[in-house]
């Protein structure tokens, strides 16, 4: 009986110790849950819940693949702007396994919100025969193109109810059916010449778009469909890609002429800093653990730059907002746009002026090259982790 009582006492005592040791973790979790609930309450109606307000990319971590992509072929899809085709690469062998023709001037490969389709945005620069080509990621084959006016880029509302086609030449956003691409409504964004890239606020109620040819950014209320303001960047001339920080507090805006990344307070819509990176700062991609931001420096300040420029990758620590590593492209290059592999070990980028694709080791910065078509642009790595896609080449949440 004494032994039984002693065992009971020890069990109770150890349980008490365990309870005490877990208090901070429980409190932290409760705080995170409360913050997530508050964000959801004020957020875009129907948007999937924010799981971790301190890491918006937490649901797109290494290997966190949705059941929606379980049958997708592991492939890299590369749109070639000047050869009007898409090259398909097997990432395991790094060999081209297929190539298919698309519309005129394919710019980006955009994963659909529901992850079931990849869209090729063929904007037909200075023409009127733009189109969107659907690709089945289970087969890697294209479907019948849909005529769409000037689809330079494409995003999706946070609830997936509509696609937002970025009609760059018209300074306009077109809200369309996310499957048929039938036009529902349009929003003019005057003063935002070259509107092209974007990212959404933590609660999804607004997005910040870059205005490439006016050195500005536009804040768009996507709930009430109105322009909230245009901010001209001090020292900025040609803003490109946009990414929100993991904690949702600021936006990072790459500027190809300023050779760096501007830091923007989205709520106040003000410029609060700049991080110097490299020549022609262009594409922005978070690491799979949400701690770092990869900046593709295109190696030239010109829209049509030379081959073998001073291309590099800068690695920014999200917490300190400082560059912690720089990986040059050996022999020169022009890293543009792409994304991180599902396991987070590789960064795939198009080599815009060099007609090649770069595979960059995210631990060492070592670079491998694959020759593709003429002027590759916004390539997509697929499948990618995440619950849904907000667009571009895979802005996953």
173: CATH? 2.130.10.10
Cis peptide upstream of residue 52 (ω within 30 degrees of 0): no
pLDDT bin (cut points 50, 70, 90) of residue 7 is: very low
The mean pLDDT value of the chain amounts to 92
The rounded distance, in Å, linking the Cα atoms of 298 and 238 is 13
Q: Are 18 and 24 in contact (CB under 8 A)?
A: no
Domain membership of residue 336 (yes or no) is yes
Domain membership of residue 28 (yes or no) is no
Res. 9: pLDDT tops 70: no
Domain membership of residue 99 (yes or no) is yes
The rounded distance, in Å, linking the Cα atoms of 145 and 105 is 13
HSE, side-chain direction, 13 A CA sphere, residue 189 = 35
* Domain encompassing residue 280: 74-382
Tokens of 328: 């040059």
Tally the domains of the chain. 1
- Displacement of CA 372 from its chain's centroid (Å): 22
Domain membership of residue 53 (yes or no) is no
Domain membership of residue 327 (yes or no) is yes
pLDDT at 326: 98
Its pTM stands at 0.90
Res. 18: pLDDT tops 80: no
Domain membership of residue 193 (yes or no) is yes
Domain membership of residue 35 (yes or no) is no
Tokens of 196: 């092209």
Q: How many residues does the chain have?
A: 397
Q: Find, among 324, 320, 338, 328, the residue nearest to 378 by Cα.
A: 338
The rounded distance, in Å, linking the Cα atoms of 111 and 135 is 9
The rounded distance, in Å, linking the Cα atoms of 118 and 112 is 6
Res. 32: pLDDT tops 80: no
Q: What value, to the nearest 5°, has the Cα angle with vertex 223 and ends 221 and 224?
A: 75
Domain membership of residue 339 (yes or no) is yes
Q: Are 161 and 175 in contact (CB under 8 A)?
A: no
The DSSP-derived string for 367-387 is: EEEEE-SSSB-B-EEES--SS
The rounded distance, in Å, linking the Cα atoms of 313 and 353 is 16
């Amino acid at each position: 009986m004494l032994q039984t009582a002693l065992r009971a006492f020890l069990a109770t005592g150890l349980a008490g110790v365990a309870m005490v040791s877990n208090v901070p973790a429980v409190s932290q979790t409760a705080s995170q849950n409360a913050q997530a609930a508050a964000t959801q309450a004020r957020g875009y109606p129907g948007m999937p819940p924010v799981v971790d307000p301190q890491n918006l990319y937490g649901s797109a971590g290494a290997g966190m693949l949705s059941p929606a992509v379980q049958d997708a072929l592991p492939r890299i899809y590369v749109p070639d702007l000047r050869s009007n085709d898409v090259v398909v690469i097997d990432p395991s062998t790094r060999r081209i396994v297929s190539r298919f023709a698309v519309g005129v001037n394919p710019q980006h490969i955009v994963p659909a919100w529901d992850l079931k389709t990849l869209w090729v945005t063929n904007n037909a620069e200075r023409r009127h025969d733009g189109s969107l080509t659907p690709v089945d990621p289970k087969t890697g084959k294209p479907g019948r193109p849909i005529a769409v006016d000037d689809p330079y880029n494409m995003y999706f509302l946070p609830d997936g109810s509509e696609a937002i086609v970025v009609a760059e030449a018209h300074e306009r956003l077109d809200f369309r059916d996310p499957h048929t691409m039938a036009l529902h409504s349009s929003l003019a964004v005057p003063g935002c010449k070259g509107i092209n890239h974007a990212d959404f606020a933590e609660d999804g109620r607004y997005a910040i778009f870059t205005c490439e040819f006016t050195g500005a950014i536009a804040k768009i209320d996507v709930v009430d469909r109105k322009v909230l303001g245009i901010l001209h960047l001090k020292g900025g001339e040609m803003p490109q890609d946009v990414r929100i920080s993991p904690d949702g507090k600021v936006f990072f805006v790459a500027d190809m002429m300023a050779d760096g990344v501007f830091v923007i307070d989205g709520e106040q819509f003000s410029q609060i800093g700049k991080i110097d990176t490299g020549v022609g700062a262009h594409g922005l991609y978070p690491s799979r653990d949400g701690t770092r931001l990869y900046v593709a420096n295109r190696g030239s300040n010109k829209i049509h730059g030379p081959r073998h420029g001073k291309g590099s990758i800068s690695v920014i620590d999200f917490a300190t907002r400082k560059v912690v590593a720089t990986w040059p492209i050996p022999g020169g290059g022009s890293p543009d746009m792409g994304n991180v592999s599902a396991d987070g070990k590789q960064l795939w980028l198009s080599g815009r002026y060099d007609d090649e694709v770069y595979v960059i080791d995210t631990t060492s910065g070592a670079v491998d090259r694959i020759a593709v078509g003429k002027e590759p642009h916004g390539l997509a790595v697929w499948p990618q982790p995440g619950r849904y896609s907000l667009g571009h080449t895979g802005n996953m949440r």
